[in-house]
Structure 1
Amino acid sequence: MIQIKTVFLALLILPYYCQWILAYKSLTEEGLQVLTNITESESLETLDKYLKQILIPRVSDTDGNRKVQEFIKSKFKELGWTIEEDTFKDQTPYGEKTFNNIIVTKNANLTNRFVMAAHFDSKYFDPPNNFVGATDSAVPCAMLIDLAYRLDQYLTQPIRSTDPGRTNIYRTFNPMQPKLTLTLPFTSIDQHCSRHLAKKWEKTYLLTVDVPEIKSKTVLGSIETLVLLDLLGVKQPSFANYFKTTSWLFSKLADIENRLYEKRIIKPGSEDSFDDEPYFDTSTLHSSQAHIEDDHLPFLQRGVPVLHIIAYPFPAVWHTTLDNFDAIDPDTFFNLNTIFRIFAAEYLEIDPSLS
């Protein structure tokens, strides 16, 4: 009897689980063409517009750090996204410092979130060293800003409802997933900063879309997946899969990379060959990987599904003053930027050809 009940419950739950897993939908050929119709010169403009503005020493509680904070906030004010700041003080080896996490969200009233994150602070180096942390993690931050600008116009449209009181509510294109939105945290460096944010989100409740006066879930509980980007930008990186719960998403990234290579949309590692080793190592999908400690840990420890995209082996310039603009390979930047844009669009089920 117990076995029968177990099977019955599994069959009852399975459709809901599968609905979540199968919510990911590949772009149409037309949609893919629209979202990849970016020239090399436009890609280089992204480096100038976003990366170079971040690529300064930006240690927490310094003028450089505050300048970068203002730059990030200014970009999302232009887009009209909701900006949340998580400011706190903590002790460091150099005394008490003020830290600030910046969290931006498109349609913050929606109660399911796809989160892509990166840290914006740079590591402290004793003077006269001048560490600007291009791969660690100015490049991921620039990619997230660019992603927001490229996808913003497609992220929402009015809910099709006869209720006049709901005309200001938005949904993504997938009617099976009407409450999913995009959140981009730009966190201060070190796990104590992401830990502070995770604790805050664990206790912060969202209001439901349908009944605004009712609290539905915590911000932490609203996260479907958290993608952490780190150590990106050098030529021919390699990424491993670390967590079984998000291995299906790692497979999607590998599939996107393959599709874009086949269509000659992203650039090969050498001028004449598209036969380079892929960025996303699918041989790690079914092996046990020891995960790398990073800013995702406080969220992982609280049950949030995490996809950790970090170059391994670490770039040779890691934690050196050579981690600067010269370390960045423009073609790799273009390739990864394109892959992450398509990945986010497909996860969120936005397709310009269906609008």
Structure 2
Amino acid sequence: MALASNCASCHTRPGGAPYAGGVKFETPVGVIYSSNITSSIEQGIGKWTADDLRRALHEGVAADGDRLFPAFPYTSFTQMTDEDVDALYAYMRTVAADEYQPPANDFVFRLRWGMAVWNALFFEPARFQPDPKQTPEWNRGAYLVGALGHCGACHTPRSTFMAEQSDKAYQGGTLREYVTADKVRDWAAVNLTSSADGLKTWSVDDLTKYLHTGFSLRGGAWGPMNDVVGNSTSKLTLEDARAMATYIKSLPPKSPPEGERAVTPVTAEQAALGQVIYKDRCEKCHGASGRGGMFSGPPLAGNPTVQSADPDSLINAVLYGATPAHGMKLGAWETMKPYADVLSDTDIANVANYVRGSWGNAAPAVDAARVAKQR
């Protein structure tokens, strides 16, 4: 349960003990630090009962009665079965105690009445109900993706009040990552539906391999997805990875309405300038056709990161490179080197525009100011 729920990624700070908390999150209402969930009596959840954990996961209320923030995805965990909560509780009791005390979350949104209002408006407790019209594999995947894996927490857009917009489920969202103590980097979580700017070109096999190994011929894990694959999906059974892929590939195609995409087409001049850079810096690995290759690099044609209305992840790849983590191999592909010290903001915008408007891709144009924001 802990692996499927990916507890480690959010509750283990860099260099810290497993599950001791302290991971820093930037939210619209302030900075939040994850809690210590080790078996420590003083700093962790060592005093919690199974009912306390159930209430936290199902209702968003801690053992002391304090309401939890929606940054903790109890809005997804509410679907967990009682049996799975009990199994998770039994495991967490075995986690070594660590006395680390994460920084306090001191801002006005912490007020209990505020969260009570938020829950009344945006939260509906409910256990997962299998769909009798679907296969056991599909239902298993729906449970892993929607309840345990809480994929929608990153891949669904949120409102100003941090509520997932259910009518836009899995259409892609935004993740904010602290790369230093005071520097935040934005990432675009891709559209998981089978739309043209999502996973249209991916098969169930492609997605299964990606989730289970971090690599498929359609793309490899990098950036924040390294933690998801490395700490969670790669540690599940192959059958569970396939169940997740089966469910995700069943999601109907959905893209943000044109009015919300702020579409600015790539101009011929931008594409021409970017093509020169692409031939010099990118073509060797990604190919003149943008299709990549088994022994060279991932395809850019039809790539959801390339086609996303939000270009931040693509910009990050060019600026900082793409490096696999957790000892996983991206097939035979080499780590992509960074170009932050080689290309200007205008250069990166131009090459991004070239790949976003070539080989059937049709994503909005990027300007140098957007690249500068990501530096």
> Is TM > 0.5 for Structure 1 vs Structure 2?
no
TM-score for the superposition, normalised by structure 1: 0.28
TM-score for the superposition, normalised by structure 2: 0.26
The structure in which a higher percent of residues are strand is 1
